[in-house]
């Protein structure tokens, strides 16, 4: 799953550490989210979207895989 977390965080001038503290997670979790190595829980995704004043769909971009039938 792709996301705009790093882009939005930097636009707002927020450091990874600040965001991690606000979300109650580690800085490594924020880094992993931004690099696409970790998908957030539903609760964390909602908390992040609310923190940035947006919705989950704007922050996290889900692309379905195409399946052959």
Query: Crossing angle for the helix pair 27-34 and 16-23, nearest 10 degrees?
Result: 110
What is the CATH number that goes with domain 2-56? 1.10.260.40
Q: In the chain, where are the structural domains located? A: 2-56
Contact 17, 6 (CB under 8 A): no
Task: Say what the pLDDT of residue 1 is.
Answer: 84
- Average confidence (pLDDT) per 10 residues, the chain, 69 residues: 95 98 98 95 97 96 70
- With 0.95 as the threshold, say if the pTM is over it: no
Task: Say what the pLDDT of residue 62 is.
Answer: 83
């Amino acid at each position: 799953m792709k996301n705009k977390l790093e882009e939005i965080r930097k636009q707002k001038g927020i450091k990874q550490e600040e965001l991690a503290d606000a979300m109650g997670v580690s800085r490594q979790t924020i880094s992993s989210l931004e690099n696409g190595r970790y998908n957030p829980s539903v609760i964390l995704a909602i908390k992040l979207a609310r923190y940035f004043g947006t919705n989950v769909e704007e922050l996290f971009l889900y692309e379905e895989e195409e399946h052959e039938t």
